[in-house]
Amino acid sequence: MSETLYTIEVEVNGKTRTGQVPARLSLVDWLRDELRLTGTHVGCEHGICGACSVMLDGEPVRACLIYAVQAHGHRVTTVEGLARPDGHLSVLQDSFCETHGLQCGYCTPGMLIASQALLDSNPNPTEEQIRDAIGGNLCRCTGYQQIVDAVQLAAKRMKTK
Ligand code: FES
Ligand code: FES
Q: State residue 161's pLDDT score.
A: 64
Helix (H, G, I), strand (E, B) or coil at 91: helix
Protein residue closest via CA to atom 3 of ligand 2: 139
Which listed ligand is nearest to 43 at the C-alpha? 1
90-149 pLDDT per residue, tens? 999 999 999 999 999 999 999 999 999 999 999 999 999 999 999 999 999 999 999 999
Which long-range contacts (C-beta less than 8 Å, at least 24 apart) are formed by 32-38?
37/12, 37/13, 37/78, 37/80
Query: Which of the ligands is closest to the CA of residue 112?
Result: 2
Cα 157 to middle of ligand 1, angstroms: 30
Provide φ and ψ at 24, rounded to 5°: -100, 10
| Radius of gyration of the CA atoms of the chain, in A | 16
CA 77 remoteness from chain centre: 7
Instruction: Return the residue whose CA atom lies nearest to atom 3 of ligand 1.
Output: 47
Across the range 21-40, mean pLDDT stands at 98
CA distance 61 to 53: 5
